[in-house]
Structure 1
Amino acid sequence: MRIYDILVKYLQFMGIAPINDANINIKPHLLLLEVLNMKNLHNNKSDQTTDYSFTLDIEQLLKQGNIIRIKPQGTSMYPLFVPGRDEACIEHTDFSSLKRGDVILYRRDKSILVLHRIWKITDNSFYMVGDNQTEIEGPLRADQVRGKLIGVIRNGYFIDVHNPLYRIISGLWLWLRPFRPIAWKITALFRRLKRKH
């Protein structure tokens, strides 16, 4: 067995593997950036123009059991998604299978599709927050859920959401929600110090 094959098997075991569209049934043509236009997400505006015929097509593809691949825009899910670089792989899901910490695709009432992380779930509703936000959105209804993140494509590699490292980091980051502004200030300080040296 070649070293490359051993490395690939290790990455697959860790939930990280070179992307193979055939293996995970991704629709690579669904890469239009305007699908998740989240430029106004921080101030919670809902007056964005979205190609509804295209987003309806995405919702139909999810219902049919396809896994879609999209590039989220904006910074509300940073550092999980870096705009223009990372892609989200999403599949259809039922509300009953969701849990705190899952990243889901949902539709705001008469508005856009949004990809955020679940902060809290109750019997018939849920609350969401972006990884780069502190404000919680909700309550939202079960019928607003369209799909669930199953993995991230970064630099040609598929990172499974069941990856142990991903689960630890995302769980810790969710718990640190109230302290995120402090974390960003500390990060910015270290970057400035690094540039000086």
Structure 2
Amino acid sequence: MRQIANECFFAWVESEIRSGRSVRFRVKGNSMRPLLRNGKEEVVVEPCGKQVLKPGHVILFRQSGRYVLHRIIQKRGSHYLMQGDGVCRFYEECEETDIIGVVRRVYRPSGKMIETDSVGWRLGSRLWLGLGRFRRVVLRVLNRVDGVFP
């Protein structure tokens, strides 16, 4: 399999989305764990269009020269506060102009497709975020289990 640099890949992703097309790619990294797992789930990112983005939506955005896929935690005008599901302490901030697209579908390794506006996805997202500080404990357990059962 041929690998390309993240900057090149996401520059292409951004151009496709800006042209009105959706892009499907495999998630890399653990910042959106456990709902999106490194190297396992694939996401479909689509243009936002005129849709109103709200807390709970997972978006692809640019920050300090890198591309990040995280969840909107809070919105104030054109300013967004973002956090990864697997991140308990740190937040990112972005402006509306930094947003490239919104995640519309998730494909599990089994091939099952989940719409991110479905009741199940929204409920799972709210439950996970509702754990607050306990997320750190659950993530620690998940990390240990993954080490034992890869």
Q: Distance in 2 between matches of 1:105 and 1:188?
A: 25
Q: How does 1:1-197 map to 2 (within 5 A)?
A: 50-94=5-49, 97-109=52-64, 111-154=65-108, 155-185=110-140
Identity %: 28
In 2: Cα distance, 1:122 partner to 1:133 partner: 21
Shift of 1:78: 1.0
8 Å CA contact retained: 2:74, 2:81: yes
User: Per residue, is there more strand in 1 or in 2?
Assistant: 2
Cα displacement string for residues 163-194 of structure 1 (whole angstroms, at most 9, x for unaligned residues): 211111101212223221122356678x5xxx
Q: Which runs of 5+ in 1 are unaligned?
A: 1-31, 35-49
Cα-Cα RMSD = 2.5
TM-score by length of 1: 0.65
Q: Which structure 2 residue ranges, 5 or more long, are not aligned? A: none
Structure of greater Rg? 1
**Cα displacement string for residues 46-89 of structure 1 (whole angstroms, at most 9, x for unaligned residues):** xxxx4434322211110111110011111111111222221011
CA, structure 1 residues 132+33, in 2 after alignment: closer, same or farther (shift >3 Å)? farther
1:130 to partner: Cα distance? 0.7
Alpha-carbon contact 2:27-2:40 (below 8 Å) kept = no
Other structure's SS at 2:29 match: coil
TM-score, normalised relative to structure 2? 0.83
Give the SS at the match of 2:87.
coil
- Following the alignment from structure 2 to structure 1, what is the Cα–Cα distance between the partners of residues 99 and 127? 24
Give, in angstroms, the shift of residue 94 of structure 1. 4.7
